Chain A
Amino acid sequence: MNTVPVVVVGGGPAGITAAVEASRAGARVLLIDEGPAVGGQIYRQVASELRRRSGADGYAAESAPLFASLAASGLEVWNDAEVWGVFPDRMLAIHRGGRSLRLQASALVLATGAYDRPVAFPGWTLPGVVTAGGTTALIKSQRIVPGRRVLLTGTGPLLLAAAAALVRGGAEIAGIAVAASRTAFLGLVRRPGAIGKALDVLATLKRGGASMSYGYGIVRVEGRDAVEGAVIAEWDSSWRAVRGTERTVEADTVVIGYGLVPSSELAQLAGCEVTYNAGQGGWVPVAAPDRFMATSVPGVFVAGDGAGVAGAEAGKLQGVLAGIGAARHAGKLDDRDAAARAKQPLRDLAKMSSFRAALERMHAPQPGLFELAADDTIVCRCEEVTAGDVRQAVSDGARLVTEVRAATRCGMGLCQGRMCVPTVAGLIERHTGVPVGNTGRLTARPPVRPLPVTALAEEAER
């Protein structure tokens, strides 16, 4: 078995700072990333086959120092490699180039990021409904916009980033429906450190003629084989549509961005204790900055949105801390040296706490979000389970997401519940009063990413 002192999973901002920090401390580090190039979703790089003609955009400028520090460190990076399992003693199973392989990490940093919160409303499965994170990823890496006339609806800064990228990409903005009030929203994006260029973003939107509708949200999307239009309405503070305020919007594409859900399945596989935190997006590994982001499992550290959604800036600082912790665990730093190195990032992280609290308040889903789905609305995109099926299971006594799954197959498809469980948990809470945090979770099981059976067979023969 090949043993590596420090393995970092995920090449976004948190993973890069973790890897670089551990490498600086003298550890041999391997960074594993599933994308064709590092950057994660937020700093996703334009495909190498496209030649950039003019200056870098805001994100590219923001990420340049990070990439430079990674290159300078000389540490080993694997791209197009998916970690599909974590087994006892930090043994990783990796799918790379059609092959499966394993290696042992003395210390492991999981910086697995987050994905857009799935929101079930009538029409959300129609082609042309896309996520905010997906929209920015598509634009950043391929310079392709998902549609020509776009309605955006959601909550936070990521939605605005998507809108600005669409405007710059030449798409027409049919509208931007933001759940928060104007005061709350502007108060957040104007804080220092909110998103790279929040005010630039607002200016870009204004130039593009995009109209913001504060206190508005999605009701439904309409179309036959793809999006043809949508209905939005004024939302009250619990995100319930105000009767009589519905407005039809003509659009060929609808971007939804109601926050992010941490990808904590590898941490769960590793056996890390997790806790439910609505503001941070869902189930997050228990870890504290002043303990180097160490989880409950010795030698396993977490950083970035996968450790609780907090944005790139906080993620970078958590990454530094996790990198220090990992190097210390691998025997490359003594306690004193580790504590000295952690001082500044801890201080910087503490400074961000009030912004993060405001962000969490804005992102925490309100009850109305789980009342959007009609009985015939799909909740589980893979197994085609409807909200009506889930409600029936709940009225038959299901109180856990696993019980709903047993009754309906909800969560048994290829996405492994990532697209339905947040909605199922919300529906259980709406109909029974059982808090989402008490509805349980689906057991993470390998492979957490699909891999061809031929890769496993080939590994067995090797």
Chain B
Amino acid sequence: MTTTSNRIATDVERGASFSFTVDGQDVEAYPGETIAGAMLAAGRRVARRTAWRAEPRGAFCFMGVCHDCRMVVDGVPNVRTCLTPVRAGMVVETQPGFGPAPSFGAPEEGQR
């Protein structure tokens, strides 16, 4: 019964895999996944380090409420990775504290 992958493969077919990076390392993802989903499937759980205690945090509510899964995505801080679809070539980084100061550019499509 125990699976070796966090991806359930018994009842769905996935499209072609692609990769994005988390802190510079390649991570595999499939169409239809969020950043947090693809990270969990790869066994990566830490999304950010808190501002004061530098404690690790990861996705908790998976519905955009808790804000603990926020990361720096293509340079934009505080992106809720549990809601944001993952795209090929995305550059995702563990967010330290409140994240780098934003550049005030328009967010990429799909970021929320």
A interface residues with partner B (beta carbon < 8 Å): 34, 36, 41, 46-55, 80, 82, 97-98, 115-116, 118, 125-131, 133-135, 137-139, 141-148, 167-172, 208-209, 225-226, 263, 378, 381-382, 384, 413-415, 418-419, 449-450, 452-454
- Least Cβ distance of A111 to chain B in Å? 15
- Tell me if A135 and B62 are in contact (CB < 8 A): yes
- CB-contacts of B71-112 with A (<8 A): 78, 80, 82, 85, 104-107, 109, 111-112
Interface of A is mostly: loop
Assess whether A49 is in contact with B65, with CB atoms less than 8 Å apart. no
- CB pair A52 B2 closer than 8 Å: no
Decide: B58 and A142 in contact? CB cutoff 8 A.
Answer: no
Complex Cα–Cα for A51 and B14 (A): 7
| Nearest neighbor of B36 in chain A, beta-carbon distance | A138
Q: How many residues of B sit at the interface, in one of the four size bands? A: 35 or more
How far apart are the CA atoms of A175 and B38 in the complex, in Å?
A: 26
A454/B106 in contact, CB under 8 A = yes
**Contact: A384 with B50, CB < 8 Å?**
yes
Assess the B52–A384 pair: CB atoms within 8 A. yes
B interface SS class: loop
Given the complex of chains A and B, what is the CA–CA distance between A358 and B109 in angstroms?
45
7 more CB-based (< 8 A) A-B contacts, given A125-B68, A144-B37: A125-B57, A128-B58, A143-B12, A144-B6, A378-B55, A419-B65, A454-B104
Q: What's the minimum C-beta distance from A18 to chain B, rounded to whole angstroms?
A: 20
Pair A449/B10 contact, Cβ less than 8 Å: no
A129-B60, A130-B59, A209-B1 known; A225+B34 contact, CB < 8 A: no
Q: Are B40 and A134 in contact (CB under 8 A)?
A: no
Contact present for A130 and B62 (CB under 8 Å):
yes
Mask for B1-15, Cβ within 8 A of A = 1, else 0?
Answer: 111001111111111
C-alpha gap A110/B109 in the complex (Å): 27
Task: Tell me which residues across on chain A come within 8 A of B30, comparing CB atoms.
Answer: 49-50
Q: State which of A52, A126, A418, A453 has its C-beta within 8 Å of the C-beta of B11.
A: A52
Partner of A116, one of B57, B61, B112: B61
